[in-house]
Structure 1
């Protein structure tokens, strides 16, 4: 999906280093700050193997955001379900997402989200979830509706 100067595309095995670098940035910025139990060295230690498996999985999605030839973000999603409790639910979870500081506010995050939702819709997903820390207000702004429904 191309927008002005940004390109959002599915990552390939050749992009593994860029994906791991973006995930490392996410761990440093978000995980280390919001989760005292997170190991910020995990992406460098185990990320290449983890994301290589996800790239080859039909149930996984790894998107890379580029400005020109420069990686400026990523999104990782996966399909899940159905399960015995909810046999008719097929879900997709947005596992992680990051936009580099220099590209924030440019629409890259919104384009990553639109691409994830389109991917999920193509797979007949009827439930999507986003995994984010409660203290991550940036992630909350991205996924919250523009207007809040009035509760009775």
Structure 2
């Protein structure tokens, strides 16, 4: 398994992995999510991220095929918490056939190293409250609940 940081040529595989994440995760948990977004806007979005110095695009490969991706970004320092230099793990997916093989851990480890090199002192990730697998994985990677967003129908 390898993790590639220079994914300029791999944007179509990033889009495919993101589309699979949308379908698998949001598709079963968020009826308001636009599941067609990756196909419509993903190529331009991820191409922009690949060229953004404040963003990280990783693609994991196993046996020559895409096994997962991770998108991270540095967040602007806010005036309410000026000592918090935050990096967000924006998006991550490991293909079902490669779960429990260390792919997710390798992606998160690369993200943590990238964020630390850029001065981040706080890492954040969001997951659906109903996604027990993702929550357990992120906890195993050292993430802990910090803020909770509650939602209800209007």
Q: 15, 21, 43: which one pairs with 2:16?
A: 21
> For 1:139, what is the secondary structure of its paired residue?
helix
- Aligned counterparts of 2:120 and 2:105: Cα–Cα separation in 1: 19
Match of 2:117?
122
Structure 2 contact 59–66 (Cα < 8 Å) conserved: yes
Structure 1 contact 81–89 (Cα < 8 Å) conserved: no
- Aligned counterparts of 1:146 and 1:62: Cα–Cα separation in 2: 19
- Cα separation, partners in 2 of 1:146 and 1:85, compared to 1, 3 Å: closer
Between 13-22 and 135-144, the greater mean CA deviation after superposition? 135-144
Q: 60, 63, 81: which one pairs with 2:76?
A: 81
> For 1:105, what is the secondary structure of its paired residue?
coil
How far residue 81 of structure 1 moved from its aligned partner, in angstroms, is 2.4
- Aligned counterparts of 2:4 and 2:84: Cα–Cα separation in 1: 27
- Aligned counterparts of 1:75 and 1:62: Cα–Cα separation in 2: 6
Q: RMSD across aligned C-alpha pairs, in angstroms?
A: 1.7
- Aligned counterparts of 2:50 and 2:9: Cα–Cα separation in 1: 11
Q: 42, 47, 53: which one pairs with 1:47?
A: 42
> For 1:74, what is the secondary structure of its paired residue?
strand
Matched, 1:58 2:48: no
- Aligned counterparts of 1:78 and 1:117: Cα–Cα separation in 2: 11
Structure 1 contact 81–87 (Cα < 8 Å) conserved: no
Paired residues, number: 143
Deviant stretches of 4+, over 6 Å: none
Gaps of 5+ in 1: 1-5, 148-152
Gaps of 5+ in 2: 143-154
Match of 2:136?
141
TM-score by length of 1: 0.89
